[in-house]
Amino acid sequence: MSGPVLILGAASGMARAVARSFAEAGHAIQLAARNVARLEDDAADLRTRFGTEVSLLEFDALALDSHKAFVDNLPTLPEVAICAVGAMGEQPQSEADPQAAAQVIRANFEGPASVLAHLANAMEARGAGTLVGISSVAGDRGRASNYVYGSAKAGFTAFLSGLRNRLAKKGVHVVTVLPGFVKTAMLDGIDTPGPLTAEPAEVGTAILKAVEKKKNVIYTRPIWRVVMAVIRNIPEPVFKKTSL
């Protein structure tokens, strides 16, 4: 069996799909989330379906003071750590309430960056490992419809880029994942274009391949690379007139 894979924020639909992909590939799985008792059924399914070892770990992405102890007390430092922590929030609420905006920023940037920083130090000391951060295409350019969430993801994307550069000669690889639209609870009630919308299983498979091939930055569906290149290059006077 391959080395363990730690999945942070393991309660989301996307994270569950990632866990299945790595379990099927023969990895032991560490599922980390708040109130991990709710992941018992997921753990049992992975054990039954793939015959893999699964452990459940209590983890709060927003409790930054606990992150070092969390990493230090892991039963085994993972071969791969995947951060699927995030929360879109509601843009109108974030605009009206700075505290709500701060929570979105903490959930999508500050918390994920903090725990990955501790994992990076541990993997660097070991001289091996892979870190995966699930960011978002929303961070490629600020848009009126979700700029609080997007700005947090932009910060996380930049953090992952810098971390990858820092660790490039230390035996530790960093993968940035930009999924685009994914059919999960986060998109409930939102109508998205079919060609741009992936199934959670696609994300799981894409991340597994990216880790195996040591990719740097991946879009789950390649069309997103073109879409975001166009959006990034719209002149600002024109962009201000759009409803993106």
Q: Which of 70, 109, 149, 181 is catalytic?
A: 149
Q: What is the pLDDT of residue 243?
A: 80
**Ordered structural domains, the chain, with CATH:** 2-239 (3.40.50.720)
pTM of this structure:
0.94
User: From first to last of its 244 residues, what are the pLDDT tens digits of the chain?
Assistant: 578 999 999 999 999 999 999 999 999 999 999 999 999 999 999 999 999 999 999 999 999 999 999 999 999 999 999 999 999 888 999 999 999 999 999 999 999 999 999 999 999 999 999 999 999 999 999 999 899 999 999 999 999 999 999 999 999 999 999 998 887 766 666 677 777 888 899 999 999 999 999 999 999 998 999 999 999 999 999 999 888 7
The Cα angle at residue 147 between residues 93 and 82, in degrees rounded to 5: 100
Here the tokens at position 222 are 């390649």
Q: What is the pLDDT of residue 5?
A: 98
CA distance 80 to 156: 18
Cα separation values, 241 from 138, 140, 145, 230, 231, Å: 18, 18, 13, 15, 13
With contact defined as beta carbons under 8 Å apart, do 44 and 112 qualify?
A: no
Here the tokens at position 135 are 């960011």
149 is catalytic: yes
